[in-house]
Amino acid sequence: MIREARVTTTCSYCGVGCTLEVHTLGDRISRVTSPLDAPANRGNLCVKGRFGFDYVTSPDRLTQPLIRRGGVLEPATWAEALDLVARRLAETRAQYGPQAIAGFSSAKCTNEENYLFQKFMRTVIGTHNVDHCSRLCHASSVTAVNMAIGSTAMSNSIAELRSDIDCLLVTGSNTTENHPVIALEMKAAVARGAKLILVEPREIELTRFATVWLRQRPGTDVAVFNGMAHVIIRDGLWHPEFVADLTEGFEELAEAVLPFTPEVVEEISGVPAADLEQAARLYATSAAAGIFWGMGVSQHRTGTDASLTLCNLALLCGQIGRPGTGLNPLRGQNNVQGAGDMGCLPNLMPGYLPAAAEDTLQRFDRLWGVHLPRHKGLTNTEVINAAHAGQVRALYVMGENPALTDPNLNHARPALAGLDFLVVQDIFLNETAELAHVVLPAWSWAEKEGTFTNTERRVQRVRPVLPPPGAARCDWAILSDLAGRLGQPWHYDSAEAIFAEIRQAVPAYAGMTYARIEAGGLQWPCPTADHPGTRYLFAGGFPRGRGKLHPVAYLDPAELPDAQFPLVLTTGRVLYHWHGGVLSRRAEGLNAICPAPAVEVHPDDAAALGVSSGQPVRVVSRRGEVQVPALVTGRSRPGTVFMNFHFAEAAVNLLTNDALDPYAKIPEYKVCAVRVEKL
Ligand code: SF4
């Protein structure tokens, strides 16, 4: 008889962190439901959470280690594979030093695995060259919020959308497709009377719910938000007591935004002056306004600048530190918040303690019983350039796919292919694994114990649903084995034992235990064993003391259209797929609904090119080209084309620009100049 079972766990796709009840029949997932009292999602699930998990039992799963022999990846034993990885990493370190080795951790893995990954790089290898995909999505938001108030996470809870917020400023976020369950709450908030200010170049579902829609040209966010600050100061709508008591830098900000009159902003951004004035008034005069933003703001070379202009608005108007008010970068991957919390960042240790500070390093020297490196680490965008320059010789990639997700792939792929040694630990043979010297098969989310931290800082349990395939192993056990082979025996016997160490390393997690987070999780900060967790941040002030208002100058995108490349390309997701498509394209139902890529072209541009929907076109940038069917639609302005990044056969990152934000080193995925050619 086939055994039926049900396990409560947490979704592995996006950062909303929906609670799942996964029903199994034998060794297959039969259906997925969610309890009505689930804290993040109240029983709601999107199409990915409901129907997107058959990838776990895909026949494509990696089930045994692979070693490249004679140019071909061949099956090997675990002992052979781990011995080879340990030997090559040790040789590289001996010959070139620890700085010649880098590691990319995974926002799809658990907190426990991310914690051990950065500990492995720092204590076993001896380098701070560790990073994760936050560099490619919200690094600029995190940098800006840290600069403005000394924090790195969403201020609010999803639950505040249900009751507290009466004005939402949503920008650079197609929330319906990227964070579908949060979009449900946004729409419900509008239905109960909240106002929605949408700042978004593309027509999206939320447009229909907006009180005012500012349709800016891609890459002009700084001008728009400086313009709102101009109106707020000009009309005396700012909060003088809040500004006087809790902020610094008002005079400098007021001077910097003076030139950004609504008329000037209209010229730069295309946003009508009257709409800008309406949005500014609405935000400033609402009783409780929250700002929510996505990668449309952060993935620019001015991503930090634009995020700072959002922080300025919240601080100017005192729209932070009370229920329903705050700054909310919506985190993308299921555990991208947790990977950052765990210190998978070159400049920040677990708990966001600065890696450049001697007292921080001494604290971790004591905790881990080592002498940590004192040199600066590289971001993953810097690692690619360092690999080209021969400075990074070996790379350890756990659960990431830079050969598809990095910008300007014709630059990134040769860097990866040219490494002396590339080890990839993953569940599928993705584009990066195909370049590897050793591939280590790992467990998926559905096979492991651990925790994920969602976008609202909620630490939740992940529990095994199915047995792992073949000889695949869990990530933390692989890391422990390698640490032992490299001379540092670790003695963790469970994910819970690793979590116990995390509590010592990360002050905001100190009060959590598996028993305490068993039902519904807890939101950090949770510093003591009797602390209830924290629903919204900054009720008692900002971690940096006074909030800092930053004057921000406007810069054009790195690449503007010209005669050779007359169109702007911008990128994003679709509801049915996830990132590079490695998982969701192996989910039969999702792939059936959305099986192929497309480039969205405005009807005016399509008419000029003589193309219609379904017709293949070539999209060409200064860095590469792809062939893809056209989809003629007025969702974007004339002159702007849109592609998603889920399809390897039309990899949009062959086109995107790797110009970097100078503070956060995030690439300008969201704007590059292209031409479209009819085939
Ligand atoms: Fe999973 Fe996000 Fe969908 Fe929730 S909204 S079911 S977390 S993908």
- Spans in the chain with pLDDT lower than 70: none
pLDDT of residue 19: 97
The answer, yes or no, to whether any atom of ligand 1 lies below 6 A from the CB of 508, is: no
The answer, yes or no, to whether any atom of ligand 1 lies below 6 A from the CB of 52, is: no
pLDDT of residue 355: 95
Give the whole-angstrom CA distance, residue 415 versus residue 394.
11
Average pLDDT, the chain: 95
Q: What is the pTM of this model?
A: 0.95
Task: Assign 621 to helix, strand or coil.
Answer: strand
Pull the structure tokens for residue 446: 């559905």
Percent of the chain with pLDDT over 70: 100
The answer, yes or no, to whether any atom of ligand 1 lies below 6 A from the CB of 331, is: no
Through-space distance between the first and last CA atoms of the chain, rounded to whole angstroms: 56
The answer, yes or no, to whether any atom of ligand 1 lies below 6 A from the CB of 184, is: no
The answer, yes or no, to whether any atom of ligand 1 lies below 6 A from the CB of 181, is: yes
* Cβ atoms 231, 237 nearer than 8 A: yes
Q: Which protein residue's CA is at the shortest distance from atom 6 of ligand 1?
A: 49
Looking at the chain, how many residues does it have? Answer: 679
580-630 tens-digit pLDDT: 888 888 888 898 888 888 999 999 999 999 999 999 999 999 999 999 999
Atom of ligand 1 nearest to the CA of 182: 5
Best mutation site among 31, 45, 330, 452 for ligand 1, i.e. most ligand atoms within 8 A of its Cβ?
45
Task: Assign 366 to helix, strand or coil.
Answer: helix
Q: If residue 336 lies in a helix (H) or strand (E), which one and from where to where? A: helix 336-341
The answer, yes or no, to whether any atom of ligand 1 lies below 6 A from the CB of 213, is: no
Give the whole-angstrom CA distance, residue 578 versus residue 556.
30
pLDDT of residue 304: 94
Measured in Å, residue 586 CA sits from the centre of ligand 1 at 17
541-575 tens-digit pLDDT: 999 999 999 999 999 999 999 999 999 999 988 88
pLDDT of residue 2: 78
Task: Assign 355 to helix, strand or coil.
Answer: coil
Measured in Å, residue 34 CA sits from the centre of ligand 1 at 11
The answer, yes or no, to whether any atom of ligand 1 lies below 6 A from the CB of 15, is: no
